[in-house]
Structure 1
Amino acid sequence: MLMTTQNGIRLSYHDHGHGHGHASPVLLLTGTGAPSSVWDLHQVPALRAAGFRVITMDNRGIPPSDDGTDGFTIDDLVADVAALIEHLGVAPCRVVGTSMGSYIAQELALARPELLDSAVLMAACGRSSLVQRFLAEAEAELIERGTELPHRYLAAVRAMCNLGPATLTDDDLTADWLDLLEASGTAGPGVRTQLLVSALPDRTQAYRAIKVPCHVISFEHDLVAPPAAGRELAAAIPGATHRTIPGCGHFGYLENPEAVNRELIRFLRAEPARCEETA
């Protein structure tokens, strides 16, 4: 783990492959409440084996990065990513985001396009649905009130919201996920702010100004950012492509990592104009 101070806060990051020749850098951005370690089991080794230098970071609000007790905005998260790219001297950089990480990448593509070579936007949308905004704001309110719900209950709700039916109908797989989600502990003020940030306003018109090559990856059974929302986002971004990974939910990069990794590597290695769009 490495630390750097940028924009007046401490940011934690890992740099896998630094110093190994001229490997192209790829920066991975996590979703709401997730530490950078979620990439370590599947995406980091696959991308390293494909010859990429892989950088992961803990977004503001996720320790050991500063926890964001004083609050922050999407612009702060974007500025943190921009500062890390500049600090490491890796511009223009390929960026892969999921969920809130995709939102950060989308806004970075608007604000600082010179820092990006291309972007992969997983579990992404250009606007959150009404129910998703309600859910994010209500969960943030629970954290603000200090309401302690049973961890088993929270684990079950998160599993049902984020996993696909193939996982949820397999009791052995579901048991592993429930153990992991139950052990994630109580969310702090940083996660509360991330929840509020992740409730996207309608940014579809703004994203028509993105010039960075983008590829949107949706997950078939994603309740948070369904494939229709991913297709809408891809249609808004000039030249963007879209693909749906079957059989998984919002955590598709962990549920079906082989298919996701193939899609990531296909796009990251290809000329963006040659990537085919599929439903």
Structure 2
Amino acid sequence: MLHHEKFGSGQPVVLVPGGGARGRTYALYQVPALVEAGYQVYIVDNRPDARTIGELVADLAAFVERVVGGPCRLAGSSMGAHTVQELLVARPDLAVQGVLMASRARPDALSKAYAGAERELRASGITLPPGFEALIRAMQNLSPRTLADEQKAQDWLEIIELAGSSGPATPEVAAVDWDTDRRDAYRTITVPTLVVSFADDLVTPAARGRELADSIPGARYAEIPDAGHYGYLEQPGPVNEALLAFFKEI
């Protein structure tokens, strides 16, 4: 069973982290806002040896059934969003609403090249110096506005370096994430869905997020300015407002 923490009381919300991240990434901003709004919040850690999206979805479904005890609201970012959207296809009976942050329905030329380059780097056995990798991660995942603030940039570089590599858990999961066009599958989703994109996201560009929303019947779409791939941490206020407004619809 997935390692998890539970906060608050009320209708349940499960927050699913991205690849290489832990559920605690939501603890600083999203958990307090949701608990204050009257929700019970679960943050989970993905199983580190899960090798496919199918396994991640099965793990999440089992968690919802056995720990949460029934249908709930689900939200994820990046790989976490990909897991949620695949669960909305495979097990719609377990979801009341779904929120997909920093996600997409298909790869594009840049994301294919990026994923391929990361796989080549990992296969080569080369280890980048921690400071250099932190710099690259910051430039890939943060908004120019964040990086232009010297104190914020320094803080983020230290955080990323301390956290270590945040790449995909396995090559198999990375391949599914980057190399598969799932628009036709997502047209079958019937669960109310909100797609949240970040305007400065280089990893999952906002255009791909809007395309994802267009693939899901009736999906809502929100775009957060001055935010990169880590937008839920860079701009937590607007992100939380979007989540709470959507959750209040049901």
Please indicate, yes or no, whether the TM-score normalized by the shorter chain is above 0.5.
yes
Q: Which residue type is aligned with residue 52 of structure 1?
A: Y
Cα separation, 2, equivalents of 1:106 and 1:44: 21
Maintained 8 Å contact 1:137/1:195: no
Gaps of 5+ in 1: 5-10, 62-67, 272-279
Q: Which residue of 1 aligns with 2:88?
A: 109
The alpha-carbon deviation at position 103 of structure 1 amounts to 0.7
What is the 5 A alignment of 1:1-279?
A: 4=1, 11-17=2-8, 20=9, 23-61=10-48, 68=49, 72-186=51-165, 190=169, 192-271=171-250
TM-align CA RMSD:
1.7
Cα separation, 1, equivalents of 2:6 and 2:46: 15
Change (3 A) 1:86 1:51: same
**Structure-1-length-normalised TM-score:** 0.85
Cα separation, 1, equivalents of 2:96 and 2:166: 34
Cα separation, 2, equivalents of 1:197 and 1:176: 33
Q: Which residue type is aligned with residue 208 of structure 2?
A: A
The alpha-carbon deviation at position 31 of structure 1 amounts to 1.0
Percent identical pairs in the alignment equals 45
Q: Deviations over 1:105-128 (max 9, x none)?
A: 111001000000010111111012
The alpha-carbon deviation at position 228 of structure 1 amounts to 1.2
Cα separation, 2, equivalents of 1:248 and 1:95: 22
Change (3 A) 1:165 1:13: same
**Structure-2-length-normalised TM-score:** 0.94
User: What SS class does the counterpart of residue 99 from structure 2 fall into?
Assistant: strand
The alpha-carbon deviation at position 144 of structure 1 amounts to 3.5
User: What SS class does the counterpart of residue 229 from structure 2 fall into?
Assistant: coil
